[in-house]
């Protein structure tokens, strides 16, 4: 019998955005179909831009290419979907902005080369939107936080960003003409320690932070406890425990929290009950149980918690499925 480990590894990639590209057919195509082609499809081309084929997206409109394959931060598409809700240049211009998870999907897809299966074109028209957009069961997701329109970074931010740059990590603008920033320490991996993160306490404009695979400890998270506008915190494959979540519980605008491969438990999750905007929590390969996850969801209706239980079941059943395929042959 074949080992289920390869299937587990494949399933695991689904919940670790920084390690695997999104599935175009299941994740990217529905997003483009439901949120983009109404204004940028075969029937209408706002700004002379079409996004229903890769060729059209790479060609771009009157302002140039919307997608730069391999360069998510340099792609105007990412810059536009990351703008605040009240910005006239925000995409899509109507309805709710894309969620932090959806923006991250676009980022990961573009960073991986914007791979688009040959011959696949996105159809237009609202009639197909319901079929294209994923249907969410259960309570609606928590509301997205609203960032202040008049935010101005403090003078201390420049010095803090310069200090962090010495470690090889750049704190970047989230998009053009906005004050909000992101930092990805995962790129520096084990070179990142608690001391590396210390200057973060002065960067109030930080809204996205990736600490995956670094040597950050529970004590190191004290540097981010005061970052009240932080919305996306990725900390997979770190040594964090319940003690670290004592610093996370003050991040009142947090929308996404990835704790895959850490040592958090059910007790630690109860420190998150005050995060009213939290929409997605990833605790695959932690000590969190389905019961603990369910208890948190009772407090935060609409929260999606991924414990990996479904993925593990899929991997466990993989040998049986493979056997059936071999029997068919």
Distances 310 to 15, 269, 315, 326 between C-alpha atoms, Å = 12, 20, 9, 24
Residues of the chain with pLDDT below 50 are 1-19, 125-136, 311-319, 321-322
Neighbouring C-beta atoms of residue 302, cutoff 10 Å: 14
**pLDDT for position 3:** 47
Rg (CA), the chain: 21
Show the DSSP H helices in 13-155 as ranges. 29-35, 37-40, 54-59, 76-81, 100-111, 129-132
Structure tokens at 276: 């009213």
| pLDDT at position 286 | 94
Please give the pLDDT value at position 175: 77
Give the start-to-end residue ranges of the domains of the chain: 14-116, 156-312
Fold of 156-312: 3.80.10
User: What pLDDT score does 271 carry?
Assistant: 96
């Amino acid at each position: 019998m074949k080992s289920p480990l390869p299937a587990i590894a494949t399933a695991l990639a689904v919940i670790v955005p920084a390690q695997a590209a999104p599935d175009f057919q299941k994740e990217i195509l529905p997003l483009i179909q439901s949120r983009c082609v109404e204004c940028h499809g075969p029937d209408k081309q706002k700004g002379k831009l079409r996004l229903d084929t890769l060729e059209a997206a790479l060609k771009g409109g009157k302002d140039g290419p919307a997608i730069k394959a391999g360069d998510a931060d340099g792609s105007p598409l990412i810059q536009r979907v990351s703008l605040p809700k009240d910005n006239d240049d925000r995409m899509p211009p109507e309805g709710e902005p894309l969620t932090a998870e959806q923006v991250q999907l676009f980022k990961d897809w573009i960073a991986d080369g914007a791979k688009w299966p040959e011959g696949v074109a996105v159809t237009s028209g609202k009639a197909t939107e319901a079929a294209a957009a994923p249907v969410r069961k259960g309570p609606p997701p928590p509301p997205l936080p609203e960032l202040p329109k008049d935010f101005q970074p403090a003078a201390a931010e420049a010095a803090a960003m310069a200090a962090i740059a010495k470690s090889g990590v750049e704190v970047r603008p989230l998009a053009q003409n906005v004050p909000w920033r992101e930092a990805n320490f995962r790129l520096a991996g084990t070179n990142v320690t608690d001391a590396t993160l210390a200057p973060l306490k002065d960067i109030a404009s930080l809204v996205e932070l990736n600490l995956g695979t670094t040597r950050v400890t529970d004590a190191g998270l004290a540097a981010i406890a005061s970052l009240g506008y932080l919305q996306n915190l990725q900390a997979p494959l770190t040594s964090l425990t319940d003690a670290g979540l004592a610093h996370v519980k003050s991040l009142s605008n947090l929308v996404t929290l990835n704790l895959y491969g850490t040592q958090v438990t059910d007790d630690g999750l109860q420190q998150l009950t005050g995060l009213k905007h939290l929409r997605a929590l990833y605790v695959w390969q932690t000590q969190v149980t389905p019961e603990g996850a369910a208890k948190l969801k009772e407090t935060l209706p609409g929260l999606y918690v991924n414990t990996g239980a479904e993925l593990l079941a899929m991997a466990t059943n993989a040998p049986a499925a493979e056997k059936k395929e071999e029997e068919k042959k």
